Amino acid sequence: MSFDAIRTELEVPQAFSAGVLADAQDSLSRGPRGEREPLALPFVTIDPPQSMDLDQALHIERTADGYLVHYAIADVAAFVRPGAAMDNEAWARGVTLYSPDTRTPLYPPQLSEDGASLLPDKDRPALVWVFTLDEAGEPTAVEFTRRLVRSVAKLDYAGVQVDFDKSAAHPSIGPLAELGPILVQQARGRGAIELPIPDQEVVLAADGSWRLSFRAQLPVERWNAQISLLTGRCAAQMMLAAGIGLLRTLPVADQHAVAGLRRVAISLGIDWPAEVSPGQILSTVDGSTPREAAFIDEAAGLLRGSGYTAFEGLVPNQTEHAGVGAPYAHVTAPLRRLADRYVNEVCLSIQERREVQDWAAHRLPDLPAAMTAGNRRDNGLERACLDATEAAILSNRLGEVFEGVVVEIDDSGAKSATVVLSDLAVRAKCSGTALELGMTVRVMVAEADVATRTVRLVVAP
């Protein structure tokens, strides 16, 4: 099965033009702009093993009264000239796009996977956040500066988790096993909402076919994400205090939505005390039972409506990100997200007590639309690839019966639902009678069309 037709249908950009590639090569030949001092710390990166676009590098120290965190972010603005070919192409793309068989980068690979990437044993220009944290993980001081950094190791999540489990973590990130859970607990106290939903992934099988799997997040992934969230929270506070910037926002779910989820919990037999917030109750379930899986699926409705808000002068009415439980900004993935390059410049100008450079300040109002378009294409590509793979897996299994879990009842009532076939990691529409949320049901494959990316299940007789 090929995903080329999907990329064509969704107008996913293909190869970079000669002009963009020439601009990228010229920027690398000139070298990064701006003077910077080396920072002699043994940074490490933690990413999927195949990743080469390494945005972040980390170093954590345990101190007498807390933690000292250095978080280096690739300095993409040191290479990209505002208004030049590479910049214009990045605006058209918005984000890096991921297909099962390839990736469509935001910037040309010679920059995103080499010259600007925080690869091991390479001196790289970076923007370094320095967080002094107390024992509770609260920042007592925040600094942000241009530096020259050097990663000493390219680590991957699975390997790092094994090392932590054996108490043999890399010394540059050893304290993450302490700090990560502290920050997770801190987030729950803020009312942050984290959905423990396994990732549905398209993977290449040994026989060359495409398969689906559900992959649960490792503890180290959650801990590492908390460092990024800490950075985004501090960046947001910095910009709000200065009266200029770009926030990633998500409105807090209204009481009607929360009340609806509470009714779902009652119907599923999940005990949800009145004084417990949505984020806190979700931290107690892991989706290991059909009823918990259905509850988590329904809870995803609380996290709809995210967007970007640019501001200068007046602080916007909506500053909160409900998923984070605080104001928040995207700042840690400039090789893969257009907006982060601009937010970094705003924060750097605030830290250096100077005016935001015109190239960044003048484009802030344009970023929400550009990012929305890029994210919409990204989400559409992911969904289309999953749908096509689901149809391909079931296309030669018409009439077969599988066991599934009802995770969502459609608005039309108990005759239509969404069912997850756990063994195949397939999620599809199902029709039948007396369908109930959280129930286990035997379903038959009635339709599986790869061309239309359609799967239809019916309750087995």
Each residue's pLDDT, cut to its tens digit, for the chain (461 residues) gives: 889 999 999 999 989 999 999 999 999 999 998 889 999 999 999 999 999 999 999 999 999 999 999 999 999 999 999 999 999 999 999 999 999 999 999 999 999 999 999 999 999 999 999 999 999 999 999 999 999 999 999 999 999 999 999 999 999 999 999 999 999 999 999 999 999 888 899 999 999 999 999 888 999 999 999 999 999 999 999 999 999 999 999 999 989 999 999 999 998 999 999 999 999 999 999 888 888 989 999 999 999 999 999 999 999 999 999 999 999 999 999 999 999 999 999 999 999 999 999 999 999 999 999 999 999 999 999 999 999 999 999 999 999 999 999 999 886 655 789 999 988 999 999 999 888 999 999 999 999 999 999 999 999 98
Same domain, 260 and 243: no
The pLDDT of residue 412 is: 62
Same domain, 311 and 297: no
Same domain, 341 and 429: no
Assign residue 422 the CATH number of its domain: 2.40.50.140
Spell out where 170-302 has E strands. Answer: 199-204, 210-215, 244-249
Burial classification of residue 244, based on how many CB atoms lie within 10 Å of its CB (0-12 exposed, 13-18 middle, 19 or more buried):
buried
Tokens of 451: 């061309």
The pLDDT of residue 22 is: 98
Last residue of a domain, one of 358, 373, 390: 390
Element counts in the chain: helices (H) and strands (E): 13, 19
Phi/psi at 128 (5° precision): -110, 120
The pLDDT of residue 413 is: 58
Residue 358 in 3-state DSSP?
A: helix
203: Cβ–Cβ under 8 A, 6 or more apart, which residues?
100, 210, 211, 212, 213
Same domain, 297 and 309: no
Same domain, 287 and 364: no
39: Cβ–Cβ under 8 A, 6 or more apart, which residues?
70, 72, 126, 128, 147, 148, 149
Give how far the C-alpha of residue 369 lies from the chain's centroid of Cα atoms, to the nearest Å. Answer: 19
216: Cβ–Cβ under 8 A, 6 or more apart, which residues?
196, 198, 199
End-to-end CA distance of the chain: 32
Same domain, 325 and 266: no
Same domain, 455 and 382: no
Same domain, 408 and 297: no
Last residue of a domain, one of 390, 421, 444: 390
Specify which residues 428 forms β-bridges with.
419
Same domain, 137 and 282: no
Tokens of 177: 């096993």
Last residue of a domain, one of 390, 412, 437: 390
Same domain, 366 and 407: no
Q: State which H helix or E strand residue 20 sits in.
A: helix 18-30
Same domain, 221 and 354: yes
Same domain, 331 and 431: no
What per-residue string of b and e applies to 52-87 under the rule 16 or more CB within 10 Å gives b? Answer: ebbbbbbbbeeeeebbebbbbbbbbbbbbeeeebbb
Q: Which residue range is the domain that position 445 belongs to?
A: 395-459
Parallel/antiparallel/unpaired status of strands 43-47 and 139-156: parallel
Tokens of 265: 């919990």
**Cα separation, 48 vs 203, whole angstroms:** 14
Q: How many domains does the chain have?
A: 3
**Cα separation, 165 vs 168, whole angstroms:** 8
